[in-house]
Amino acid sequence: MILTIERVGKYTIKFKNMPNIEGFAAVCGKKEGQGPFAKYFDKIFEDSKLGEDSFEKGESRLQTEAVSLAIKKSKIKPEDINIIFSGDLLNQCLSSTFGIKDFNIPFVGQFGACSTMAQVLSMASIMVASKAANRCVGVTSSHFCAAERQYRFPLEYGCQRFQTAQWTVTGSGAAVVATSGQGPFIQAVTFGKMVDLGVKDTTNMGAAMAPAAADTLKNFFEDTKTHPQDFDLILTGDLGVVGSKILKELLLKEKIILGDRHNDCGLMVFHREEQDVHSGGSGCGCSGLILCSYVFKSMRRKEMKNVLFMATGALMSPTSSQQGESIPSIAHLLWFKSD
Amino acid sequence: MILTIERVGKYTIKFKNMPNIEGFAAVCGKKEGQGPFAKYFDKIFEDSKLGEDSFEKGESRLQTEAVSLAIKKSKIKPEDINIIFSGDLLNQCLSSTFGIKDFNIPFVGQFGACSTMAQVLSMASIMVASKAANRCVGVTSSHFCAAERQYRFPLEYGCQRFQTAQWTVTGSGAAVVATSGQGPFIQAVTFGKMVDLGVKDTTNMGAAMAPAAADTLKNFFEDTKTHPQDFDLILTGDLGVVGSKILKELLLKEKIILGDRHNDCGLMVFHREEQDVHSGGSGCGCSGLILCSYVFKSMRRKEMKNVLFMATGALMSPTSSQQGESIPSIAHLLWFKSD
């Protein structure tokens, strides 16, 4: 089978023979394991350090576990994987490095903040479709305790959280992308441009990310000549309450009405009120967790046939925040089909 | 023209019709502008902040300048570029984000520490060869002052430098990869695996990175059935004095003799003794600077026909260093041909 690739419109890459999600896995922490989608997750860890001696090493273990499970569920071995694409939120992609290094598989580190799950699967799909690889893994993770102390405040400080703030998910999602199988399949990829409207508030990332999401989604619909009603689910990564509202408002101005088709991993992952997470979940583990569990499982059961998955990233760093810089954002999109 | 891709051996991706380096540019700081290869660089900035108010923003400007020049020298416009692949050494790829955001081009952030120049060009090549993109840019940067204060000590502290330490290059290299042109051309890519022999010394990155370089180079020779003598130059990224020596020793055990064909961007970029840089230059700007100036210019003049470029990365973060972790390393390789 020859897999071929074509560019459609200005920004979209379409696959003539679609790469396949061969296997996938989602693992998470205790709080996520008490959320409404817990029954779809493969493993829930009660210990936030997963037996390691730091939160960061705990996060690395999440990636190790997710990749191991995704490989196992694909009924293959690590040596069958040609390349792993991985990224996370920590400085210099620390948890990816330490989570992946012992697999002994070629590794290409990715950074797209919370957009990373879409980015790693996009790269994996292109590699497989182009025959540059037979099989790739895409994986991301995030960890509440590691992210908070790096980007905001150490938890010990007991800082009060803003109502616009989101709760970084402790979790990891991994998927094996291969040439053939039972799906879901990847039909197209749209890479996003950075959008920077000057938002500087690190406790309101939804507002920073929504314009990037609107831009990528608009580009995708234009490129592919599709409409929201062509999809069973239009799933954003982690815009939360604030960002989801802004996204819909921005798209309305472009005469694009998402309606009930839209959902957001950040709104799904927790019982928002009861679990006290304010604007919702966030982190690249958030979209990774929901995609590599509920979404892919539902698609395999053909409960959903066409899904747009668009993870959004706030491209900030502790250094840029401390220097008073704005938060440029980005959103990458994949179109999944169940057959 | 249909560009096709095939996997060769276990780790190598070979292009049947080779992607082309359409244009390239190299910009740097004052110290690099006093080095032996200064005449090949496009722009030398005397001000280490490039007129910005922080070293980090100065580094971002290096990327902006390098990409602008590479696009200009390719005689194209920013809108002709489908995707920019960029990465740097700072936390959360800060200088890439701020250096690239205003180009309004789809952006895919990469992290491979000092291996990033090879990583971005590998990704760009595969995208172009697979027709997922018509034109891509690969760019990296590093900045001495920004890197020192993030990874080691702020300069104001006046810390004495170890003899094994390398001097992070203030510079950026950018290249436009397209389907056709006058070359150099990319014949093959080999992605590296992470290698971790337990080195923890952040002032001796050459020792940490050399085993990864040896592994990737050995894999490439095995996959392609080539030998060191088939190449005019085997150029490592920034192993410096210590790492270059270890690389040769490790390869000798495998009966691979690099000899005079080997050189290292870290050994080339400065007058090592006179400029007091101890073990040599480093940083992803180091290999970017030498590759996108001297190497590509020499290849266009056909002074070199076959060049292996292998950038090496020490996958450390301030957090992992402070937590006493080792430094896993990686090396990605490209095979350039002049025709």
Q: In chain B, at which residue ranges do the beta strands (DSSP E only) sit?
A: 5-8, 12-15, 20-29, 43-45, 83-88, 107-111, 135-142, 167-168, 171-178, 185-190, 233-236, 262-264, 281-282, 306-314, 329-337
Among candidates A83, A194, A320 on the partner chain, residue whose Cβ is nearest the Cβ of B191: A83
Cα–Cα distance measured from residue A254 to residue A93, given in angstroms and rounded to the nearest whole number? 36
- Any idea of the CA torsion for B127, B131, B134, B136, to the nearest 10 degrees? 0
pLDDT per position as a tens digit, A217-266? 999 999 999 999 999 999 999 999 999 999 999 999 999 999 999 999 99
pLDDT at residue A216 is higher than 70: yes
Among candidates A4, A56, A106 on the partner chain, residue whose Cβ is nearest the Cβ of B192: A106
Q: How close A88 gets to chain B, by Cα (Å)?
A: 9
Quick one: pLDDT band at residue A207, thresholds 50, 70, 90? Answer: very high
- Give the percent of chain B with pLDDT over 90: 96
Q: Do A108 and B123 touch (CB under 8 A)?
A: yes
The CATH code that applies to domain B5-178 is 3.40.47.40
| Cα end-to-end distance, chain B, whole Å | 17
The CATH code that applies to domain B185-337 is 3.40.47.40
Domains A7-178 and A185-337 share a fold: yes
pLDDT at B3: 56
pLDDT per position as a tens digit, A43-99? 999 999 999 999 999 999 999 999 999 999 999 999 999 999 999 999 999 999 999
Q: Do A90 and B317 touch (CB under 8 A)?
A: yes
pLDDT at B126: 98
Mean of pLDDT over chain A: 96
Domain boundaries, chain B: 5-178, 185-337
pLDDT at residue A268 is higher than 90: yes
pLDDT per position as a tens digit, A93-120? 999 999 999 999 999 999 999 999 999 9
pLDDT at A67: 98
Among candidates B119, B132, B317 on the partner chain, residue whose Cβ is nearest the Cβ of A13: B132
pLDDT at A334: 98
pLDDT per position as a tens digit, B126-140? 999 999 999 999 999
Quick one: pLDDT band at residue A1, thresholds 50, 70, 90? Answer: very low
pLDDT at B187: 98
Residue in B closest to A114 by C-alpha: B92
Q: How close B291 gets to chain A, by Cα (Å)?
A: 20
Among candidates A111, A126, A193 on the partner chain, residue whose Cβ is nearest the Cβ of B127: A126
pLDDT at A74: 98
Q: Do A130 and B130 touch (CB under 8 A)?
A: yes
Q: Do B107 and A320 touch (CB under 8 A)?
A: no
Residues of B in contact with A131 (CB under 8 A): 4-7
Q: B317 in helix, strand or coil? A: coil
Q: Do B119 and A106 touch (CB under 8 A)?
A: no
**Which of B56, B90, B97, B137 should be substituted to probe chain A, the one whose Cβ sees the most A Cβ atoms within 10 Å?**
B97
Q: Do B315 and A54 touch (CB under 8 A)?
A: no
Cα–Cα distance measured from residue B245 to residue B247, given in angstroms and rounded to the nearest whole number? 5
**Which of A7, A8, A91 should be substituted to probe chain B, the one whose Cβ sees the most B Cβ atoms within 10 Å?**
A91
- pLDDT (mean) for B257-266: 97
Quick one: pLDDT band at residue B30, thresholds 50, 70, 90? Answer: very high
pLDDT at residue B65 is higher than 70: yes
Quick one: pLDDT band at residue B1, thresholds 50, 70, 90? Answer: very low
pLDDT at B321: 93
pLDDT at residue A147 is higher than 70: yes
pLDDT at residue B216 is higher than 60: yes
Residues of A in contact with B109 (CB under 8 A): 110-112, 119, 315
- Give the percent of chain A with pLDDT over 70: 99
Among candidates A7, A90, A129 on the partner chain, residue whose Cβ is nearest the Cβ of B319: A90
pLDDT per position as a tens digit, B269-319? 999 999 999 999 999 999 999 999 999 999 999 999 999 999 999 999 999
Cα–Cα distance measured from residue B294 to residue B24, given in angstroms and rounded to the nearest whole number? 11
The CATH code that applies to domain A7-178 is 3.40.47.40
**Which of B111, B148, B323 should be substituted to probe chain A, the one whose Cβ sees the most A Cβ atoms within 10 Å?**
B111
